[in-house]
Amino acid sequence: MLSKACGYAINAMIYVASLPAKRQRARLRDIAKAINSPEAFTGKILQALVKDSLLVSTKGPNGGFAIKGSASQIMLGQIVSSIYGGALFSGCALGLRKCSENHPCAVHYKFKVIRERLSCMLLTTGLSDVAERVNTGLGFLKH
């Protein structure tokens, strides 16, 4: 349901958040490899996350990407918004520019329920929670 870019963004953030406390930065190459994503594409995604203040980027031999602030303060919905803007939370399932209760697309009422549930999950699921699932082996970043 999410685009590749959005999936990679979430997985990249999970990977960085799941790093041990003493190794809080990850290089682009390591992130791309960990999430099975093309390096150049991953770089563009990471820069968007930096621009939206979800990650910080440090140059140099000890540089890399790190979570800005605390992973417990970041919800998955913030990552999705960084990639999609607000379109996932309010856009039309069929891509119509004007779709509303007064002028619904053909699947508006069915998709509205799905969008609301997805939005609720993304806005209430913390990055630290899903990073913990990866660290305990209950979740995976690639197959």
For residue 71, the domain's CATH number is 1.10.10.10
Residue at 142 is within a domain: no
Total structural domains within the chain: 1
For residue 1, the model assigns a pLDDT of: 67
* Domain presence at residue 73: yes
DSSP secondary structure string, 50-116?
Answer: HHTTSEEEE-STT-EEEESS-GGG-BHHHHHHHHHTTHHHH--TT--SS--SSS--TTHHHHHHHHH
Averages of pLDDT over runs of 10 residues in the chain (143 residues) are 90 96 87 96 97 95 92 96 84 89 94 92 96 94 80
| pLDDT attached to residue 89 | 82
Question: Is 141 domain-assigned?
Answer: no
- In which domain, by residue range, is 126 found? 4-135
Q: Would you say residue 19 lies in a domain? A: yes
Q: Is residue 72 part of a domain?
A: yes
Domain membership flag for residue 140: no
pLDDT at residue number 52: 96
Is residue 112 domain-resident? yes
In a domain, 131, yes or no: yes
Predicted pLDDT at 90? 83
pTM for the structure as a whole: 0.90
